[in-house]
Amino acid sequence: MEVDATEGIQTDHTETKEAEETGLQEECGVFGIYDRSGGDVAADIYYGLCALQHRGQEACGIAVSDTAGPAGNICCHKDLGLVSEVFKEETLGSLSGNLGVGHVRYSTTGASVRENAQPLVLNYIKGTLALAHNGNLVNAEELKEELIYGGAVFHTTTDSELIAYHIARERVHTGSVEEAVLRAAERLKGGYALVIASPRKLIAVRDPWGIKPLCIGKRGEAYVAASESCALAAVGAEFLRDVEPGEIVTVAGDRIYSNKELQKKHKGPHAHCVFEYIYFARLDSAIDGLRVYDARLRAGRILARTCPAKADLVTGVPESGLTAARGYAAEAGLPFELAFYKNSYVGRTFIKPTQKERESGVRQKLSVLAPVVRGKRIVLVDDSIVRGTTMANLIRMLKQAGAVEVHVRISAPPFLYPCYYGTDVPSGRQLIASEHTEEEIRELIGADSLGYLRTEGLQEMAGELELCRACFDSCYPCR
């Protein structure tokens, strides 16, 4: 992934500019837990969200309730910032309850303002509902128009509020909240993973295509649902399984049960987001039976076979390119070296107004280990080139440190098309590969050679797993 000096929380007036300047961004992360023994769960949600922090750094929140208390006793705290910034010991201590959901956010719809932070909490005629959502809906405008003409008043600009309102509306006419969730989900088109807390139930929902990841685990009498298995491990929960595409899992009292009606109505194949394996998910996670570390290692090996280079060593762009670089080096029979030092203590910054300042930001985050690269022909591996600016800066830094040649290898095909399901891929005009040939890109970034993973290599990387790779080939599973 291209490292960019412009990451950070953006306000309304900088959001458009930020989208033009940065590359791919993370999605969102969801976490839910129901401790049937009655223990408080706010601290568990905190640690789960910390494990999912890589999926969103703009905002976060926790909502909890006590299933033994009166209905509607939800306590919620959310704000802009990292999990460790938003939640202090006294804040967590005020969130008492054995059922709760949490969320880390990167905005793919809606501005980066506190009102759009999640979980969303609704008080309605049937009680209360707390919802955390990862993904985007492709029929959001249609659903919103329907609600507006029905008298709904919106407090956020996110897809998530649409989902919550539709569940609340269906609940008025159904016998249970899980039935209301099913009826609402039947109206949704797009990629989504939901964790929902009603007064006495925890509900996990995954879209029928399986675009967004979601899994469940267990620790003693507590059941956990999370975007990635690494969050289960963070709270000491045993991974049970992935929530199946189109499945609704409900934990209620001493029961846990599954509804697959949504799955049965789905027409067409599954479409798991390929970028979970290339970039988004944490290395120690496994999604739908495929370990992220293994997938990235395999991508590097495939890349070495299809795009070899005469070189002295292989290195990767921290952190996202390192595992694929190891795979490339192993397959090519070349030494793997760390050529960059990453300064983990550089704070998040707002958009820099000039190219010079952006380049300075990159240098603050990454510095070259000159003795490693001096006089060497280098293969530099990363997972993508989005705009090309950062890659050009890194190549320039390597050559200034004495590298003789820099051969760039990318462990994904070129980005050509936007994503509509919750991955913040810039629009076509901002994607360097949509405007330039591979040779033109090579010249623009200053590389001695450039090679991408071929589209067919993605399937070799993923095995039998059905993938969504629309950002590479425009074959969208749902529009």
- Provide the annotated active-site residues: 28
CA atoms within 13 A of residue 160's CA, in its CB half-sphere: 32
What separation in angstroms does the CA of 137 have from each of 87, 104, 121, 418? 30, 18, 20, 14
Distance CA 335, CA 329 (A): 6
> How many Å separate Cα 193 from the centre of its chain?
11
What separation in angstroms does the CA of 196 have from each of 30, 121, 170, 185, 326? 10, 10, 15, 13, 40
Distance CA 137, CA 479 (A): 9
DSSP states of 430-442 as a string?
A: G-HHHHS-HHHHH
The DSSP bridge pattern shows strands 222-226 and 215-219 to be antiparallel
Distance CA 430, CA 331 (A): 33
- Burial tier of 444 (Cβ tally within 10 Å: 0-12, 13-18, 19+): middle
**168 CB-near residues (< 8 Å, 6+ apart):** 122, 124, 126, 129, 180
**What residues does 61 pair with on adjacent strands?**
78, 103
